[in-house]
Amino acid sequence: MTCDRLVCANCAGPVTEGRCPVCRASRQRMEQQQGLFERLTPGALIALLAALVAALAVAAAVQQAAA
């Protein structure tokens, strides 16, 4: 989960802007809880998956050429 669209109940501002102490604390807590793949954007995940598929295709082609 990202805090891109979250609205603070204390100041009614976007949490990403960190207008008040509640926003800043929530943003910091969410950043600490996020894992590696949660920090990646959907575009980056798609690019990573495409690179993995390409690497597997090259490995399969090399293995067939060696056989």
Q: How far apart are CA 66 and CA 8, in angstroms?
A: 60
Give the type of residue at 11.
C
Reported as a pLDDT band with limits 50, 70 and 90, residue 3 is low
Is this prediction's pTM over 0.75? no
Pairwise pLDDT comparison (1 vs 40), residue with the higher score: 40
Q: How far apart are CA 23 and CA 21, in angstroms?
A: 5
- The whole-number pLDDT of residue 50 equals 97
Pairwise pLDDT comparison (1 vs 52), residue with the higher score: 52
